[in-house]
Each structure stands twice: as structure tokens, then as C-alpha cells.
Amino acid sequence: MATKNVPVNDPMIDPATGELRVIAPGHTFKSVTEKISRIVLTSHTPLGWFGGFMVASSVAGILMVAVTWLFLKGTGIWAITQPVAWGFAIINFVWWIGIGHAGTLISAILLLFKQSWRNSINRFAEAMTLFAVVCAGMFPIIHTGRPWLAIYWLFPYPNTMNLWPQFRSPLMWDVFAVSTYAIISLVFWYVGLIPDLGTMRDRSQTRAGQYIYGIFSLGWRGSVRHWMRYESASLLLAGLATPLVLSVHTVISFDFAVAVLAGWHTTIFPPYFVAGAIYSGFAMVITLAVPIRKFYGLEDLITIRHIDNMAKVMLATGFIVAYGYGMEVFMAWYSASKWESFMMWNRMHGPMGWSYSVLIACNIVIPLCTLWFRKLRRNPLFMFLLSLVVNTGMWFERFVIVVTSLYRDYLPSSWGTYRATRWDYATFLGTLGLFTTLFLLFIRFLPMIPMSEIRIMLPQAKIKSEAEPLHEAGD
Amino acid sequence: MAHAPEHGHHARTLPANLGAPAFVNGWRRRALIVGAVFSALSLLLAVLDHSIDHLLRAWLLGFMICFGFAVGGMALLMVQYLTGGKWGLLVRRPLEAMSRTLPLVFLYFLPIGIFAKKLYLWAAISNPAEALKSGLISAAQAHAIAFKRPMLNLTTMWITTIACFAIWGFYMWRLNSLSLQRDSDTESPVHYWTQKFENLSGPGVVIYSLTLTAGVIYWVMSLDPTWYSSVYGLLFLVGQGYAALALVILTVLTLAKGEPFKTILRVTEQHDLGKLTFAFVMLNIYLAFSQFLIIWSGNLPEEIPWYLDRIRGGWGVVITLDFLFHWLVPFTLLLSRDLKRNRKRLIFVCQWMIFARCWDMFWLIEPNFPDARRNLHFSFGILQYAAVPVALLAFWSAYYFFQLQQRPLVAVNDPHLAEILEPDHAHA
């Protein structure tokens, strides 16, 4: 509730707008640069980082074992058979791609909307996107069982039978959508890194660091011309990346929606897949941001304002997802179709009804009953736990869509069930390890917060009229 | 007293009089004249057509457009409170004025509710089984009407409509009264009002989405009781944003010929509003095309006739023009940065978008009826689609202009006021 007894003397609240500050007061250009670059340039890697890396890479090792066994034995080790011919492979693919969406939204759309709060989190959110796409992209590749042969068979060739490439198939569109998304995200991330790589080159104390950062900084000198080109490139890439936020998960929703299967064929799928992707993506950003800010003492750069804003985005997208679920249930009745009604009844009360209950609890009941409260939104520990709950719910959403629509279709004689094998679980778990490993490497070797973008947010960076006194500007 | 901002070395100063400029009176007078002329024309067309069927269909179109402005404007107002930003200061009072036209919009609904049996098949058919035997309706229609009877009946329709209008009425009252209170309250910290509006608008947007969906399913989707699409509510939600945003920009830009908007409207905010419009243009085609692609690919007998009714028999021309009007033209124009920063050209695009919304609504409504399904043809009745909506919109506009004159056009106790009075940046 609004109250007149608000803490007016809180230094984290801007008295002019009454909003939480994006970064804590008291920073200078120098302090920002030092604080962020020190994490990378230090020769004393924290023990905690090593601990995390060991655990993550061990879990990633499970992926290596699982994939090796898959290549040796074939896809029969997975539970992909009739009636659920896709199973974990497509569930995990969609889940990981969805997680990647927050990075592009933060980098591109929030840039176009002039949301300066994005500056602290866009670098690692974009890195998260790339690693999530890597994890997602693995599933279509390894689910062929023999990827080295798949390169031969999947290579588009001119054919008259419309087998491959079948341009009317959304699976084909997926190839283009996801690869475009990966390329643009990588380029956007790299372009954003260039000024900071220049700073790292200049501050690095080792010869190797100076060479490596120097090569990748592409001769950045920070001249006006460089900045002008950098800004233009950023805006152009943001313009290119913005439709991708919508298009990638829309195309993935088409993988299901253009089919005529009850539970898949519904027009709400495109917007609700996109909203769900952003929902899970922001949850993952929180999952990563909360421990990182605590571990590296970055609470003054990744502030409560960021947590609160991300929670608000989750509230909005979570509501769109809830609206989508609601419309599915309503239309199952309103369609007056017995197939639709049965699908929904079976989804809720059939043998796998428990998965629908988990989905509703994790995606709707828990987050949407708590995110309305400002105090909870601004509690990092709560938001961290909630982000885990939401991503569990989002995984179950894909499980419900894939499995409960397939295992009991139009013909009772073809009904069956679905039970994932230990190799399905191992592969999924392994991708979590791979993702975390890549992320830990990223925060160790690259500046996870864009120094240049934080510096321009400082009050010292604001252009002042001649009449106003100049303040200390750091280095 | 002139309202001077606290800081900003070269900042401009708000004029003493923040009320609507005198020329708004002229707008109101002209709107009333247009309304009277087109009302007479509608009656003449009804006489020539020997029927009020088309008058009612066109009335539904006019109602949906005015409803979109009033309720869509209110939703946009709540979204602005939630997102913040300087653009809110420009659009707030026009959006509040749009929301205060809700009572008139409810009056517009009354003929639809009263003559529902002439518009809705489910209302006209009391016994679907008998109607099927008599050959009045198809088996699919009989099944749908019988199955959906608990929802598609006049009592439930009236209850739902009144409940929706009551909820929107509550929000209209609360948002408008709090806004005035905020103007006069110089004691409370900035927080207090920011949080108060956020607390009201957060649930408000959720409730709006649900009530809007209920409304459009009853009023438009159920014109064909057999058809369904789960994205329909969202399509209207975005469509309302599309039209309401166009109208509010149109209002702001034309009001800027006089004070106080002449002082506070900067090119930076105008450009931002243009970009937001572009986003709505994209969202609108995104949802419309997704719906089309999914239904077209599925090619199911329950769904595809809805599109075939709107493509075949001459309707192909209308849908092609709809695509051009609704998306291609505004999309192409709004790509230009210069256009978004040019007042005259942006006014043209906004006018175009409102016309495109009406055109789209015509394509949505008319092919639901048996005489027009897959059969676009000329009659005096079809001309009602030009006459009745113009009349309804003209009277609605007169009331909107009247509401604009009731309050200062700028909210003075706003944290962004000082910022918006700063000089425009060289680039945005």
C-alpha cells in the first residue's frame, strides 16, 4: 500500500523522482572501472570460484558421458518412442531457448526504450543468452544420434519430393530463426564488449592479457569517432535483435501450433511462448545475479532497483502466461469440441495430471501471489528462490505441452505413456553443468558489467551548462 | 501563477493558464455538426434499405471504436503509471479525458443489447434443434449454440456487460479523482503518489485484460457462434492500444498549436511516442498474422471457414487493403526517423491508423452475417458502415473535447515536469 511515511532519507532513493537509484551514489569513473576490472585482472582467483567451477564442470562431465553413450548406443537410450516421439529433447531445447530471451530483451528492447537500468545487467544477461543457445542447440544436433552423418543428411539439397528442405515446416524455420538469433546475439555481445576490452588491455599487468585483450579490442582508442560508430552499431544491432525476441520463440511455438493436435493447435501459443520465454529468462538472470552480486560485492552496481524491475517484468510476463493458460482452458470448453475438452480434462486429471499441478503452482500460484508485494520483490534471497521455482515451472510447462498432448491422442488404441530414462535426465543435468561452467569462465575472464555503460550513467557524465560548477570526474 | 520548475538553467516556464486552448470549442462545434449530418444520413440509408440490420451492424462497429478509445485509453493511462517516463506527462490528461467518455460508450451499447436478436444468431435462436430441422441453421451452428447456451444467452450477456462497465467505471473514477488530488497535494513526497498509482494500475491492467476479453468474445467473436480463437482477446487488446495511442498523439500534436502543450511538447517525446506507435503497429500484425498462419496451416473445418468467409467472394480486396492500411503503410512511414519528428506527418499517420482500425473492424464484423459471407456486394445498407460510425465517433469526439476542457491539460505535481521543461536535446 502507498504510505506517506516513506524513507525520504534513504540514499538509495532519488529524491527528485522518488524511485530507487540504479546505482549507489558515491561512485566515480575511476571507482567503477577499478571495481569491475579488478574481478578479471586479479591474479588471486577466489576459492569460491574454483569450488563453483569444480562442481559445475563435474556436472558438465555427466553430459560428456551421456552424449558419448548416446553416440555409442544410439537414440534408443532415450525414451523417445511412440506416442511421445520428442520427449526430453524438445522439452529441453525449448526451455533453454526460452531462457536466452531475457538477454536479447535486456540488450536490445530496453536499449531502444532508453531504460538505463539495463546497463548493469545486460552484459551477463547477453552471455547467458549465448550459453543457453549453446545448450539448446545441442539437443536437435545430438538427437540425430549420429551428428557427423546428420551434417550430410541435413545439408539442404535441391529435391523434388519436398522432404528436405521442406520450407512449409516450422522445423525448417527454426533452423533459420535460431541460427540468426545466435549470430546476432554473439555480434551484439561482442560489439558491446569492445570499449571494455580496450580498458582491460590498458589496465592489464601481464603481457598475455595485453595481447589478448588488445587483439579483441580491435584497436579501440575511445575517440569521438569510435564512440559514434559504436553507438550507431549498437542501435542498428538493437533494431535487428528486437524482432528476434519475438520471432524465435514464435517460430518455436509454430512447431506445435501448426499441427492439428488438441493441446498444440491454439492461436494463443505465439504470444504466450514469447512471454513465457521472457519470464524464464528473467528468472535465470535473477538466479545468476543474486549470488554474483553478493559474492563479488557488487550490490552498489546491481542494486535492489534491478531486482525490483526484473521482478516487475516477471510479474507482467507471468500474467500473460497465466492468461494463456486460462484461455486454453476456456477455449477447450468454448470450442464445443470433445477433443479439446478431453485433452484439457486429461491434462488436468489424467495419469500425468500431477505435472499440470506442478506447472500451475510454480508458474502461477507462487509467483503471481507474491510478486505483487513490493517488499518481496526487493528481497534478493526471496527472488533467488522464486527464480528457481519459476524455471522449474517453465520446464514443466514444456513437459505438459509435449507429453500430455501426445500420450493420449485421438485414438485410444494408440494411447501410451512417457517415462524418461536415466540418460534423458543425465543429458539435461549435464547441460545445466555446461551452462554454469561457461558462465563461470565468462565472469572470470571478461568484465561481467559494462564499465563504459555504467560510467555514462554517473552524474559526472551529464553535460552541464557553463554556469554550473564542474565536479570531480575520476580518471 | 506561473509554474516554474526548480532547476534547469535554460528551462522553459509553464504558462499561467493550463486549460485547453479556445480552439477546442470550435472542434466540439464541428464534431456536433458532423454527428448531426451523418445521423440524418444513417436514417435515410435505413429507409432506402428497408431494414435496420446494417444500421445495427455499423452501430456495433462505431461502438467498438469508441469503446476502444475510452477503455483502451484508460488502459494506456494505467500502463503509463506502471512504466513511468516523461511521455506520460503529455498524454495523461487526454487519456483521462478519453476514459471519462465511458458513460457515453455505455449508452452506445444499449441499442446492441436491446436489438441483440437482430445481431447475434445465438440470441435469435431459442431452440437450436428445431431451427436445425427447419433448415434455418447448420448442424455445426446448432451444436455450438446448444453447447454454449450457459454462456451465450441474453441474461448472461447483460450481466457480463454491466459488470464490465461497472469495473471500468470504478477505475475511471478512481484514476481521474486521484489525478486531481495529486495536482493539489504539495505536501506528500513523490513516492507516495507514484506508489499509489502503481498500486491502482497494476491490478487494473490485469482486470482490464480479463474484462476486455470477456467483452469482445460476447460482442464480436460470438457473432459467429461456431468459431473460436484463443488469441482473440489479445488481438483486441493490442488493437485498442493501436487506436488509442494514435488518437492521443493526434490530440497532443494538434493541441500543441496553442498553450500549454506548445511549451511542453518537445521533439524528443514526440519521437518516443512515434516509436511506441511503431511497436504497436508491429505487435498488431504479429498477432493477426500468427492467428492466420496457425488456422491456415491447421485447415480444420471448425476454424478455416472464418477466414474463407473473409477472403472469398470479393472480400480478398478488403483483406488486402486491410493489410496495406493496417500494417504496410504505417509500418513503412513510421520507419522514418524524420517523419516521427515531423508534427504534420505524424498527425497524418495517426489519422491514417484510426481509419485503418475502422477498416479492420469492418472486415471483422460484416462477413459474420449470412448475406455478406463470401459475398461482398453493394447495397444501401453497406453504406451504413460509412455513415453510422462517423456519426457515433463525431458525437463521441464532441464529448471527448468537452472532457478535455474540464481540467488543466498538464498535471503539475509530477516528478518529470522539470525534466520535460528542459531544452530539447540536439539528438534523441
pLDDT tens digits, A205-246: 999 999 999 999 999 999 999 999 999 999 899 888 888 888
Instruction: Determine the pLDDT at residue A474.
Output: 38
Of B65, B235, B70, the closest CA to residue B165 belongs to: B70
Residue B194 grid cell: 507514484
Q: How far is B189 from chain A (nearest CA, A)?
A: 7
A307-316, A414-423, B410-419 — which is least confidently predicted?
B410-419
A91-105, A226-240, B180-194, B219-233 — which is least confidently predicted?
B180-194
Chain A residues touching residue B150 (CB < 8 angstroms): none
A171-185, A279-293, B296-310 — which is least confidently predicted?
A171-185
Residues of B (143-172) whose Cβ lies below 8 Å from A: 143-144, 147-148, 151
CB A177 within 8 Å of CB A248: yes
Ramachandran angles phi, psi of A13, nearest 5°: -110, 130
DSSP three-state, residue B228: coil
Is a pLDDT exceeding 70 seen at residue B343? Answer: yes
Q: Do A271 and B188 touch (CB under 8 A)?
A: no
Rounded Cα distance between B397 and B34, Å, is 10
Residues of A (99-128) whose Cβ lies below 8 Å from B: 112, 114
Residue B305 grid cell: 471457414
CB A97 within 8 Å of CB A133: yes
Instruction: Determine the pLDDT at residue A354.
Output: 96
Is a pLDDT exceeding 80 seen at residue B369? Answer: yes
Q: How far is A276 from chain B (nearest CA, A)?
A: 15
Q: How many of the other CB atoms lie within 10 Å of CB of A460?
A: 16
Rounded Cα distance between B400 and B2, Å, is 27
Q: Do B234 and A323 touch (CB under 8 A)?
A: yes
Instruction: Determine the pLDDT at residue B237.
Output: 97
On the 0-12 / 13-18 / 19+ scale of CB atoms within 10 A, B27 is buried
Helix (H) or strand (E) holding B264: helix B261-264
Instruction: Determine the pLDDT at residue B425.
Output: 62
Is a pLDDT exceeding 70 seen at residue A1? Answer: no
CB B398 within 8 Å of CB B31: yes
CB-closest option in A258, A323, A467 to B298: A258
Evaluate whether residue A298 is within a structural domain: yes
CB B386 within 8 Å of CB B54: no
Instruction: Determine the pLDDT at residue A14.
Output: 78
Residue B4 CA: distances (Å) to CA of A298, A389, B265, B412, B414: 39, 50, 16, 10, 13
Alpha-carbon torsion A65, A67, A71, A77, what sign?
Answer: positive
Q: Which residue of A has its CA nearest to B210?
A: A323
Vertex A292 angle, CA A288 and A295, to 5°: 150
Residues facing A13 on adjacent strands: A20
Is a pLDDT exceeding 90 seen at residue B5? Answer: no
Evaluate whether residue A471 is within a structural domain: no
Instruction: Determine the pLDDT at residue A463.
Output: 65
User: Who's near B377: CB < 8 A, 6+ residues apart?
Assistant: B314
pLDDT tens digits, A342-361: 999 999 999 999 999 999 99
Residues of A (229-268) whose Cβ lies below 8 Å from B: 243, 246, 250, 254, 257-260, 265-268
Task: Categorize the per-residue pLDDT at B412 as very low, low, confident or very high, splitting at 50, 70 and 90.
Answer: confident
CB A60 within 8 Å of CB A438: no
Instruction: Determine the pLDDT at residue A472.
Output: 43
Task: Categorize the per-residue pLDDT at B398 as very low, low, confident or very high, splitting at 50, 70 and 90.
Answer: very high
Residue span of the structural domain in which A270 resides: 29-463
Which string of DSSP letters, residue by residue, matches A428-440? HHHHHHHHHHHHH
Chain A residues touching residue B202 (CB < 8 angstroms): 315, 372
Q: How far is A28 from chain B (nearest CA, A)?
A: 23
> Mean of the pLDDT values across residues B274-302?
95
Residues facing A20 on adjacent strands: A13
Exposed e or buried b for every residue in B64-94, given b needs 16+ CB within 10 A? bbbbbbbbbbbbbbbbbbbeeebbbbbbbbb
> Is B201 an interface residue toward A (CB < 8 Å)?
no
Instruction: Determine the pLDDT at residue B6.
Output: 44
Residues of A (374-393) whose Cβ lies below 8 Å from B: 374
At position B267, the amino acid (one-letter code) is V
> Mean of the pLDDT values across residues A14-35?
85
Is a pLDDT exceeding 70 seen at residue A287? Answer: yes
Exposed e or buried b for every residue in A185-224, given b needs 16+ CB within 10 A? beebbebbbbbbbbbbbbbbeeeebeebbbebbeebeeee
Rounded Cα distance between B162 and B156, Å, is 10
Residue A210 CA: distances (Å) to CA of A44, A205, A345, A356, A473: 18, 7, 63, 54, 26
Evaluate whether residue A168 is within a structural domain: yes
Chain A residues touching residue B286 (CB < 8 angstroms): 246, 250, 270-271
Residues of B (92-111) whose Cβ lies below 8 Å from A: none
Q: At what angle do helices B190-219 and A304-334 cross, to 10 degrees?
A: 20
Residue length of chain B: 428
* Complex ipTM: 0.93
Evaluate whether residue A421 is within a structural domain: yes
DSSP three-state, residue A13: strand
DSSP three-state, residue B230: coil
Ramachandran angles phi, psi of A441, nearest 5°: -65, -40
Is a pLDDT exceeding 70 seen at residue A473? Answer: no
DSSP three-state, residue B258: coil
Residue B63 CA: distances (Å) to CA of A270, B175, B209, B360: 29, 23, 19, 14
Helix residue ranges per DSSP H, A204-303: 207-216, 224-257, 269-295
Q: Where are the beta strands (DSSP E) in B189-287?
A: none
Q: Which residue of B has its CA nearest to A272?
A: B231
Task: Categorize the per-residue pLDDT at A24 as very low, low, confident or very high, splitting at 50, 70 and 90.
Answer: confident
Rounded Cα distance between A309 and A311, Å, is 5
Evaluate whether residue A11 is within a structural domain: no
Chain B residues touching residue A8 (CB < 8 angstroms): 189, 191
CB-closest option in B84, B198, B206 to A319: B206
The one-character DSSP state at A20 is B
pLDDT tens digits, A106-163: 878 888 877 888 888 989 899 999 999 999 999 998 988 888 887 776 666 666 666 6
Rounded Cα distance between A256 and A251, Å, is 9
Of A30, A123, A53, A139, the closest CA to residue A91 belongs to: A139
Q: Which residue of A has its CA nearest to B145?
A: A336
Vertex B293 angle, CA B289 and B297, to 5°: 170
Evaluate whether residue A452 is within a structural domain: yes
Chain B residues touching residue A331 (CB < 8 angstroms): 228-230
Chain A residues touching residue B298 (CB < 8 angstroms): 258-260, 265
CB-closest option in A2, A243, A467 to B192: A2
Category of B331 on φ-ψ map: left (φ > 0), alpha (ψ -120 to 50) or beta:
alpha
Chain B residues touching residue A13 (CB < 8 angstroms): 191
> Mean of the pLDDT values across residues B272-296?
95
Instruction: Determine the pLDDT at residue A163.
Output: 67
Residues of B (394-423) whose Cβ lies below 8 Å from A: 415-416, 418
How many domains would you assign to chain A? 1
Is a pLDDT exceeding 80 seen at residue B418? Answer: no
Residue A397 CA: distances (Å) to CA of A68, A257, A280: 29, 15, 11
Chain B residues touching residue A6 (CB < 8 angstroms): 189, 191-192, 195
> Is B280 an interface residue toward A (CB < 8 Å)?
no
Rounded Cα distance between A209 and A232, Å, is 28
CB-closest option in B84, B188, B213 to A4: B188
Interface test with A, best of B78, B182, B186, B191 (most A CBs within 10 A): B191
Chain B residues touching residue A367 (CB < 8 angstroms): none
Q: How far is B144 from chain A (nearest CA, A)?
A: 6
- Cα Rg for chain B, rounded, in angstroms? 23
Task: Categorize the per-residue pLDDT at B428 as very low, low, confident or very high, splitting at 50, 70 and 90.
Answer: very low
Q: Tell me the pTM.
A: 0.93
Q: Do B10 and A1 touch (CB under 8 A)?
A: no
Of A284, A293, A238, the closest CA to residue A443 belongs to: A293
Of B105, B206, B116, the closest CA to residue B156 belongs to: B116
Q: How many of the other CB atoms lie within 10 Å of CB of A1?
A: 6
Is a pLDDT exceeding 70 seen at residue B354? Answer: yes
Q: Residue B344 CA to chain centroid, in angstroms?
A: 22
Residue B405 CA: distances (Å) to CA of A182, B16, B80, B402: 53, 16, 22, 5
Q: How many of the other CB atoms lie within 10 Å of CB of A150?
A: 15
Is a pLDDT exceeding 90 seen at residue B12? Answer: no
Task: Categorize the per-residue pLDDT at B417 as very low, low, confident or very high, splitting at 50, 70 and 90.
Answer: confident
Evaluate whether residue A58 is within a structural domain: yes
Instruction: Determine the pLDDT at residue A470.
Output: 46
Q: How many of the other CB atoms lie within 10 Å of CB of A405?
A: 21
Instruction: Determine the pLDDT at residue B13.
Output: 82
Task: Categorize the per-residue pLDDT at B1 as very low, low, confident or very high, splitting at 50, 70 and 90.
Answer: very low
Vertex A114 angle, CA B194 and A474, to 5°: 100
CATH of the domain at A238: 1.20.1630.10
| Residues of chain A above pLDDT 70, percent | 92
**Average pLDDT, whole number, for chain A?**
90
The one-character DSSP state at A223 is -
Evaluate whether residue A184 is within a structural domain: yes
pLDDT tens digits, B49-93: 999 999 999 999 999 999 999 999 999 999 999 988 888 889 999
